[in-house]
Amino acid sequence: MDRTKKIILISLVSLVVVGLTTAIIIRVVRKRKLGSVKIKNKNPKKILIVGDSQSAIQNASGGKITYTYPNILREKLDDKGVSIDVLALGGKTTDWMKKNLPSKLENKKYDRVIIYGGGNDTSNASIPLEKTLNNIQYMVDMARENGADAFVNLGYKVEGKFGDIDILPVGRPANLLTSKEQWIPYVEKRKELQKLIPKKINNANFIPVYDLQSKTTDGIHPTSSGHKIVADKVYDSIVKKY
């Protein structure tokens, strides 16, 4: 084989190797971004759930809410010696979560922090998705800095009664709207946030989108049986999987 042919062959092989290496790197990066971050705490004993009405176990007056998924998780994990704390109140945005998380992390060292927020952000036209994503990333980073594995709950599949606008959900901004069609932009904003979180949030594992199977009274909040679905999905993602 003459010198020219050897150079051409070596060049072609090099191109193939570079191409394969690049493809592997891209796949690894994508896999990590989609929720394959290495877990530090293999046997979690202390879990913190951060959120809004989807995760709340009490109302603003301190009254207990017993049917939501954190309570169901507590029952499922009780025999494993796992404790679950909740930082969540109905109607709160990710700004509230971001501001209240530091004091919670200062008082106790958690193995895992589950962040489930953004729904109230998307119901507020003045809050851009970029701000919501930045707040979630901030909480993920804060959890990791405190030694916890960070999980972000992507929430329920936005469709059915809610997505089709067969009903007008309660609460802000529904109480300000005059027709069901006016709710559509908020639905689309919620869908967009759900798509962006696994693409934009780094160093977190994700609880995949789940189907509430129409077990919701207002298209947003699960019924008690809907919360059992949520509890099972969270359990499978943060405990059983590892």
Question: pLDDT tens digits, the chain, 242 residues: what are they?
Answer: 566 666 666 666 566 554 555 555 444 444 444 456 889 988 899 999 999 999 999 999 999 999 999 999 999 998 889 999 999 999 999 999 999 999 999 999 999 999 999 999 998 989 999 999 999 999 999 999 999 999 999 999 987 555 555 655 555 566 677 777 788 888 889 999 999 999 999 999 999 999 998 898 777 889 999 999 999 999 999 887 66
pLDDT of 33: 43
Question: What pTM does this model have?
Answer: 0.82
pLDDT of 2: 64
Token representation of residue 77: 């994990």
pLDDT of 108: 94
Q: Which domains does the chain have, with CATH numbers?
A: 34-240 (3.40.50.1110)
Contact 49, 114 (CB under 8 A): yes
d(CA 177, CA 117): 23
**Residues 6 or more apart from 136 whose CB is under 8 A from it?**
94, 115, 117, 118, 152, 197, 201
pLDDT of 30: 44
Residue 195's closest CA among 206, 184, 183? 206
End-to-end Cα separation, the chain, in angstroms:
55
For 98, half-sphere exposure in the C-beta direction (CA atoms, 13 angstrom radius) is 16
Point out which residues pair with 89 in neighbouring strands: none
d(CA 46, CA 146): 13
pLDDT of 219: 76
d(CA 237, CA 205): 9
Token representation of residue 216: 């919701």
Contact 91, 120 (CB under 8 A): yes
